[in-house]
Structure 1
Amino acid sequence: MSAEPDQIIYVVDDDEALRDSLVWLLESNGYRVSAYESAEAFLSGYSAQWIGCLVLDVRMPGMSGLELFEELGRRRCTLPVIFITGHGDVPMAVSALKKGAVDFIEKPFSDRDMLGLIEQCLTTEREQRAKRRQEADTARRLAQLTQREREVLDLIVVGKLNKQIADVLGISIKTVEVHRARVMEKMGVHSLAELVQHVVSAEPASPR
């Protein structure tokens, strides 16, 4: 178990017995858990700041798990979602996977399978959160560049050498070197590879 202290597993299932057994399983393995009996109850307390993952029953009275999943998508929720399905719900779960759910697990499921999925989800969520932090930091640094520094950066990223950049911009190689040094400093990087990697990773990704 390698959950961060702030990562919580949110369980949404109208079946009280299953919900209680899941809470017991997860808490006894050291996870923090928050359980809800309905999609509506979960939404009423939901915060975009929550981190961890969501274990969600597909079929519930009132708002279904799929409807909740779609609503969270509209709210740009970043919690990875595992669906719990009955045998007849597999087509719905596959549809949810195509819309960005992490996985689904069929009832009855083994404790080991569920714990494996949870661990995978928490790892994914941590990595995605770190990536978003990096992208936000890169965007902030890019905004601090002058117009000329940005022009030099764009030419560096497409693989132009200092002499070529000087020719394109009509400036001296020495001036290019000065701008290049300032770009590296402002971007907080120590190598050309690191610079390119940060800039490329900050390019807008398509939403879920």
Structure 2
Amino acid sequence: MEQRITIHIVGGNSRSRAEQSRLVLSMGHHAEVYSDLVELIDRPPRSGVIIASQDILADGISALLNELADAGIWVPLVAAKTDPGVDEVVEAIQAGALDFLELPLTESEVRRMVAHVYTDAGRHAETRRRLIDARRRIDALSKREREVLDLLSEGCSNKAIARTLQISPRTVEIHRANMMGKLDAHHAAEAVRLRLEADLEEVTVPAEG
């Protein structure tokens, strides 16, 4: 018998929230319902899983996860939408969502999601913390510092980076030192690890001229 879990339902219209709540309760779980993100943040959940649907997802999963992180909410997030596209699902998972469900919810989908929470929730929350922290550090970099980090992650030496960016090796050293300081990285491997944890898309830096 599966353990009871608290499922926090936010977003969508009142009818959709009521239907989700009834299903969750009928399966022996506890449901908490919030009309919008403001109400959720005002009563921040500390356990269970959040199901965010429709309008709550309008600005994208990354923006939503960042807003939750700012509020100190690390409960796993599951996106839910009517007829989600494959690209939407892939993008949501890559951004840090635990799962993506199709509305209206079904008992089998909820059961699958609950199993996912129990097997992956702790690891997932820690991964989210690292991902968001890494992205925030990298967002603080200047354009040139980010270019140096991208090329460093591809295994380029300072000389190779200088050739690609058409700047002097000394200038590369300055940008690299500034980049390392902003990332609070003590060596190149740590900086590269942060970039990987941020799960950023590969950026090709074109040579000028």
User: What TM-score does the superposition give when structure 2 sets the normalisation length?
Assistant: 0.50
Provide, for residues 116-153 of structure 1, a one-character-per-residue CA deviation record: whole Å limited to 9, x for no partner: 2123214433x549x9xxxxxxxxxxxxxxxxxxxxxx
Amino acid in structure 2 at the alignment position of 1:35: V
Amino acid in structure 1 at the alignment position of 2:83: H
Give the drift of 1:17: 1.4
Provide, for residues 6-43 of structure 1, a one-character-per-residue CA deviation record: whole Å limited to 9, x for no partner: x4211112321121111111111111111111111111
Answer yes or no: is 1:10 the counterpart of 2:14. no
Q: Distance in 1 between matches of 2:93 and 2:54?
A: 12
Answer yes or no: is 1:102 the counterpart of 2:98. yes
Aligned-CA RMSD value: 3.5
User: What TM-score does the superposition give when structure 1 sets the normalisation length?
Assistant: 0.50
Choose from 47, 72, 78 the match for 2:74: 78
Amino acid in structure 2 at the alignment position of 1:29: M
Provide, for residues 71-115 of structure 1, a one-character-per-residue CA deviation record: whole Å limited to 9, x for no partner: 113455331111102336654443221121111112344321222
Choose from 21, 29, 32 the match for 1:31: 29
Equivalent residues in 2 for 1:58-207, closer than 5 Å: 58-60=54-56, 66=61, 67-75=63-71, 77-87=73-83, 91-125=87-121, 127-128=122-123
Amino acid in structure 2 at the alignment position of 1:84: A
Structure 1 residues 18 and 92: CA distance shift in structure 2, 3 A: same
Partners of 1:82 and 1:104 within 8 A in 2: yes
Tell me which residue corresponds to 2:18. Answer: 20
- The unaligned stretches of length 5 or more in structure 1 are 132-205
Tell me which residue corresponds to 2:42. Answer: 44
**Segments of 4+ in structure 1 off by > 4 A?**
none
Select the structure of larger CA radius of gyration: 1
Partners of 1:13 and 1:37 within 8 A in 2: yes
Q: Distance in 2 between matches of 1:13 and 1:90?
A: 21
Structure 1 residues 109 and 29: CA distance shift in structure 2, 3 A: closer
Amino acid in structure 1 at the alignment position of 2:106: S
Tell me which residue corresponds to 1:143. Answer: none
Q: Please state whether the residue corresponding to 2:32 is helix, strand or coil.
A: strand
Q: Please state whether the residue corresponding to 1:30 is helix, strand or coil.
A: coil
Q: Distance in 2 between matches of 1:128 and 1:3?
A: 19
Amino acid in structure 1 at the alignment position of 2:74: T
Amino acid in structure 1 at the alignment position of 2:18: D
Partners of 2:20 and 2:105 within 8 A in 1: no
Give the drift of 1:60: 4.1
Q: Please state whether the residue corresponding to 1:106 is helix, strand or coil.
A: strand
Q: Distance in 1 between matches of 2:74 and 2:15?
A: 28
Partners of 1:53 and 1:81 within 8 A in 2: yes
Task: Give % identity.
Answer: 19
Structure 1 residues 88 and 29: CA distance shift in structure 2, 3 A: closer
> How many pairs does the alignment contain?
131
